[in-house]
Structure 1
Amino acid sequence: MEQKFNEAIQQIFQRWTTLALATEQGWGGRDSLAKGRRLQAEVVDYLSAGSRKRRPISWENPGDVEELAHFLYLRIDELFNTETDDGSTTEVATLCLRLFNTCHQGDTSFADQVLQACNSTSKPDLAKSQGSERIEYATEEDELLDKLDGMEIDEGSDVESDDKALQDLVEQPTAAQPTVGGYAKRDIPEPVVDEDGFTSVVKGRRKPR
């Protein structure tokens, strides 16, 4: 009985497209596969604990189905940072509850139906399934910083050439100044001869003595 239950619930989780995408595409990081197995074990523990309540949980009770679906929704978000808004958590919750209830009562007919249905159909084609990535930022500044960090500058881009052009503009002499050895040549003042015939030497902008 327990073996039949374990085989059937494993098939349910393997056929859950959202979980299959999350584990095989590594939405939960390196240990995504281990997280998928952990989620299945957590659900089994959830069902076992629910069966020991004064009013055991049942797949025929909409409230019990909703609570398990909510549990699955939260755990998928926590383990894989993924939101399941396709209603699949309710379907999986219903199947798991019904499977547990029937097997717990000693009836394996539903487990056989699950296994037969899974064996007669192929696994979901994950290549045709797509998940949408949504990033939520706490502030607009966080979003701006994340976008700036993601920007890449290709080698040989115009950034380097623009910098060189600016440097050339800084080092380039003006057209009105002839250059000597690459440097601008200052205007050299003509020597000044006073009335006594003496020549004054002019240095820079200082006045002749």
Structure 2
Amino acid sequence: MEMDNAFKKVVEQIFNNWTALQLAVDHSMAGTDSKKIALEFINYMTQYCLYESAVDTDCIHEALDDIMDQEFDTICEDGSTKEIAKILYRFIQLVKNGNANLLEEEYRHRDASENKMMNYEDLNDKKVGSSSEITMEEDSGWTEVKSKRKKLNNLKYN
């Protein structure tokens, strides 16, 4: 049971960092219960990976695609479901082989690397923000037409 809980933590971490799922939930793609459905998705995938008899990367990938499409009306064309399937399969193999220490080590490594990636993205955002302070004149595509009224106002009529 301890390994099951460890695997559920892995699934939660992966799903909490999955941009496509975050966007689907944020935009209520599954309706008003999107957060609840996302939590059920985590539980379902945990159970599916742990207890499906012949689970492999392709089965996990197909399940992820199906649920994103059916529940969230979202099709992931970015390859994220395939990537997540590979990661989940790697961790489920560790669970099935009883490698609790390696599972914990890889989980901590993933957690640390994701935090570094988030910090790197924050730095990139700051760099972009600071470089945008430099003002550059851009051609807006508009041509200024000056009014002739000033000239007419300056004319004196006799």
- Tell me whether 1:104 sits opposite 2:96 in the alignment: yes
TM-score by length of 2: 0.64
Deviations 1:115-171 (A, max 9, x none): 33224433867xx9xxxxxxxxxxxxxxxxxxxxxxxxxxxxxxxxxxxxxxxxxxx
The alpha-carbon deviation at position 2 of structure 1 amounts to: 2.9
- Tell me whether 1:87 sits opposite 2:79 in the alignment: yes
- Tell me whether 1:113 sits opposite 2:115 in the alignment: no
SS of equivalent residue, structure 1 residue 85: coil
**1:40 aligned residue:** 42
Gaps of 5+ in 1: 58-63, 129-209
What CA distance in whole angstroms lies between the structure 2 residues aligned with 1:2 and 1:48?
A: 7
Deviations 1:50-104 (A, max 9, x none): 2xx3xx43xxxxxx21222111111101111111111111111111111112022
- Tell me whether 1:5 sits opposite 2:1 in the alignment: no
For 2:109, the aligned partner's letter is Q
Gaps of 5+ in 2: 126-158
Matches within 5 A, 1:124-143: none
TM-score by length of 1: 0.50
Percent of aligned pairs sharing the same letter: 24
The alpha-carbon deviation at position 3 of structure 1 amounts to: 2.8
Does structure 2 conserve the Cα–Cα contact (< 8 Å) formed by 1:11 and 1:115?
Answer: no
Does structure 1 conserve the Cα–Cα contact (< 8 Å) formed by 2:65 and 2:81?
Answer: yes
SS of equivalent residue, structure 1 residue 121: helix
**2:33 aligned residue:** 31
Does structure 2 conserve the Cα–Cα contact (< 8 Å) formed by 1:9 and 1:99?
Answer: no
Greater radius of gyration (CA): 1
Q: Please give the root-mean-square deviation of Cα atoms over the aligned residues, in Å.
A: 2.2
SS of equivalent residue, structure 2 residue 83: helix
| More helix by percentage | 2
